[in-house]
Amino acid sequence: MLTSGQSFQVLAISPGIAVGRVQPVRRKNSSGAPVLEMISEEQVPSELARVRMAIDKTRQQLTALQTAVREKLNSQDDAGIFDAHLLLVDDRSLLREVETRIKKRLWSAEYALYDTAEHFGKVFANIQDEFLKERAADIRDVADRLLNNLSSQENIPADDRDDCRIIIASTLSPSETAGLDTRKVLGFAIETGSATCHTAILARSMKLPAVAGVPAEIINTLSADDKIIIDGFSGRLIVNPDARTEESYRLRAESAQAFYSTLVQESSLRPETTDGFEIELAINAGSVEDISELKTAGASAVGLLRTEFMFLGRELPDEEEQFEVYKQVLIAAEDAPVTVRTLDIGGDKLDNNIFRSLEANPFLGLRGIRLCLFERRDLFETQLRALLRAGVYGNLRIMLPMVSSVLEVLEVKLLIADLQQQLEKENVEFVRHPVIGVMIETPAAALMADELGRHVDFFSIGTNDLVQYTMAIDRGNERVAYLYKPAHPAILKLIASTVAAARKNNIFVGVCGQMAAEPEFVPLLVGLGVHELSMEPPSVAMVRRVIRSISFYEAEKTAAQALACPNAAASLEVSLNLLKRCAPEISSVLKKTDESGES
Ligand code: PEP
Ligand code: MG
């Protein structure tokens, strides 16, 4: 039972504060049954409408299946089993029972449907007649299909309510997050996830405050009548706050916004240290539209264009479609470099259209370049052809994700040469000398950076994965999030050796993981000698202020000191000390948001 004003320490995954009523997202519990969730009177019509939509969709699916079976097996009998299912879908007494549970007991559509199916399933299972007994299995089968169709509906965010809400759910997939309507959603609180999972990355791009690691009991208990506060700076969730707490959080949200507005006005200032060392500020983008943020943020490059947006949850794009998109991106960026990362599917970005088999450990499986070189070389070739063609329209950098061996790079280079020959024969325009780089996001790549550097034009350090693979923790698992420490000396050492390898090979090195966006790590990265910091656009303003407040000389000393620290807490402290001295206004924002904030 939750009491009003109760406050919970959770994980901050996207900055900002949101205060508002809850929009619970319905999920099944671990036994496969939906969670019993109450709805309000006003939600009844929309729940009834959801049931009807699920029925329509189920009817269509069953009819399509019936036709397919008839054609494939050429069997009228086998197709006939769907007649019984179709009859059930349109059974009026079943529908009436579901509707009664929604209207009278105020249960969610999922639970009402589940309970009705359980009830009829038991009644039929207890009948002596074998034929009727079998109907119990049919009912459960149809109910499962209806439930699936209910949960795949756009039930995020609130259906017909006009007020904005905070989504609360056990999980949100990256594609669900991308589909959130930011005019109606104030933020979200989820159980599984961490600051570097792709759901969090999207939340930051969408400027949605978010927290993760919320215990399941809280998620299952909160209903649409509860009001909560989520603090995406310090990672707090407060249930039904009193008026004073609510006011204090509203004020904090306003002052954070005001501070941010002053920083934004500095977007035309050069991102250089007080002793004149310039860092390239770049943005991470996930769509063509994001490119407009380059100018708004005052950044000079796209350090990472995630191309997954074109592949996930939709029909796969062909060469022409991709060519047009990359061309538009390059033209929109004018002459700014655009680092296009080739398909990085895998890990928490899975899609049935792309993967041919399920893996027990997707983060350690056929992800990124591995998938592209082996299982889906077809997709990779199409993407590379589109990129080579689009490259003539701007300043393209091609970046390979998840590299762990020099051989992978050599193979890609051979493939690119082959594709260039093809294009030449076809008389199609393409870039002759594409700039090719690799992400340094596995410890193997960091340790072999010396060798890798001989074959590529740049490195970009993906700290989200580099921390994950070095610390051996799933980046999306809130239970090991306490080990997710980018300032850990082990990580700093890998970054330092990557920078040294870049220097030796006379190539450029950037950072495009979340570490680049966090003010407390910026002195370390600058001091370690990286050339570019790339991040979600909203973070650029704060990072610019940090760079302009410190000297390179001091940052270098700080980084050297941090490298010699025995643990992550000590090295972070070293960096925070410099920040406190040189940029007290930033350090106080970080400090303030580290406190619980309740009055
Ligand atoms: C990273 O790993 O740091 C990175 C930028 O890539 P992604 O977060 O998409 O894995
Ligand atoms: Mg990565």
Ligand 1 lined by 512 (C-beta under 6 Å): yes
Kindly state if the Cβ of 513 falls inside 6 Å of ligand 1: yes
Atom 6, ligand 1: residue with shortest CA distance: 462
Indicate which residue's Cα is closest to atom 1 of ligand 1: 462
Helix (H, G, I), strand (E, B) or coil at 367: coil
For position 32, what pLDDT does the model report? 62
**What pLDDT is attached to residue 594?**
43
Residue 591: other Cβ atoms inside 10 A:
14
DSSP string, 474-531: -TT-GGGGGG--TT-HHHHHHHHHHHHHHHHTT-EEEE-SGGGG-GGGHHHHHHHT-S
> 199 CB under 6 A from ligand 1?
no
The atom number, within ligand 1, closest to the CA of 201 reads 8
Ligand nearest, relative to CA of residue 286: 1
Q: Give pLDDT, residue 228.
A: 95
Please work out whether the CB of residue 37 comes within 6 Å of at least one atom of ligand 1. Answer: no
- Per-residue confidence (pLDDT) for residue 195, from 0 to 100: 82
Distance 251 CA to ligand 1 centre (A): 34
Give pairs for 171-179: CB < 8 Å, separation 24+.
171/27, 171/199, 172/25, 172/199, 173/199, 174/198, 174/199, 174/201, 174/202, 174/312, 174/348, 174/349, 175/312, 175/313, 177/202, 177/203, 177/206, 178/202, 178/286, 178/309, 179/154
For the chain, 599 residues long, give each residue's pLDDT as a single digit of tens: 677 888 888 988 998 899 999 988 866 554 567 777 778 888 888 888 888 888 888 888 788 777 766 765 565 555 666 777 788 888 888 888 899 999 988 888 888 988 888 888 777 777 777 666 667 777 877 887 888 777 655 445 444 556 789 999 988 877 678 778 888 899 999 998 888 887 888 888 888 999 999 988 888 888 888 999 999 988 899 999 999 999 999 988 888 888 888 888 999 999 999 999 999 999 999 888 889 889 999 999 999 999 987 887 677 899 999 999 999 999 999 999 999 999 998 777 666 567 767 788 888 998 999 999 998 999 999 999 999 999 999 999 999 999 999 999 999 999 999 999 999 999 999 999 999 999 999 999 999 999 999 999 999 999 999 999 999 998 888 888 889 999 999 999 999 999 999 999 999 999 999 999 999 999 999 999 999 999 988 899 999 999 999 999 999 999 999 999 999 999 999 999 999 999 998 887 765 544 444 33
Can you read off the two tokens belonging to residue 386? 């589109």
Spell out a b/e string for 312-331, using b for 16 or more CB atoms within 10 Å of the CB, else e.
beeebbeeeebbebbbebbe
pTM (2 d.p.): 0.74
| Placement of tokens 């950076």 in the chain | 449
- Give the tokens for residue 187: 């933020």
Ligand 1 pocket member 464 (CB < 6 A) = yes
If you take atom 8 of ligand 1, which residue's CA is the nearest one? 464
Can you tell me the distance from the alpha carbon of 118 to that of 520, in angstroms, rounded to the nearest whole number?
54
Distance CA(550)–CA(520), nearest Å, equals: 12
pLDDT value at residue 271 = 97
455 is catalytic: no
Q: Is residue 236 classed as helix, strand or coil in its secondary structure?
A: strand
- Catalytic residue, chosen from 198, 372, 488, 582, is 198
Give the ligand whose atoms come closest to the C-alpha of residue 174.
Answer: 1
Q: For ligand 1, what atom is nearest to the CA of residue 441?
A: 2
Alpha carbon distance 244, 240 (integer Å): 11
User: What is the predicted pLDDT for the residue at 72?
Assistant: 56
Ligand 1 near 465 CB (within 6 A)? yes
CA–CA distances in Å: residue 203 to residues 16, 198, 349: 11, 8, 15
Our answer to whether residue 197 is catalytic in this structure is: no
Going from the Cα of 483 to the center of ligand 2, the distance in angstroms, rounded, reads 18
Q: Out of 13, 196, 311, give the residue to mutate to test ligand 1, the one with the largest number of ligand atoms within 8 Å of its CB.
A: 196
